[in-house]
Amino acid sequence: MKVRVYVSLKPGVLDPQGRAVHHALEGLGFTGVEDVRVGRLIELDIAEGTDDAALDEMCRKLLANMVIENYRIEKLETA
């Protein structure tokens, strides 16, 4: 089973990387960009039947740092 974990900074946590990307976009002449936040996408290929609790634990124990980050799990249909 393919699973995507999106890790993003919590609202209110300053994102220096996002700011730099924002600045670079402006440098390229793209106007109208209000804000940029940089996150992380982690793709997992896990055994069928892995339960949600285990997935949550993976996120909380390693994939996200709960002090500064949130995560969202998306399960992809296997083709």
Q: State the residues that interact with another protein by CB under 8 A.
A: 13-14, 16-17, 19-20, 61-63, 65, 67-68
**Of 26 and 48, which CB lies nearer to another protein in the complex structure?**
26
**Of 62 and 79, which CB lies nearer to another protein in the complex structure?**
62
**Min. distance of Cβ 53 from another protein in angstroms?**
19
Burial of 44 (0-12, 13-18, 19+ CB in 10 A): middle
Kindly give, in sequence order, each residue whose CB lies less than 8 Å from that of residue 38, ignoring residues fewer than 6 positions away. Answer: 9, 15, 17, 18, 21
**Min. distance of Cβ 35 from another protein in angstroms?**
16
**Of 14 and 79, which CB lies nearer to another protein in the complex structure?**
14
**Do 1 and 79 meet the contact criterion of CB atoms below 8 Å apart?**
no
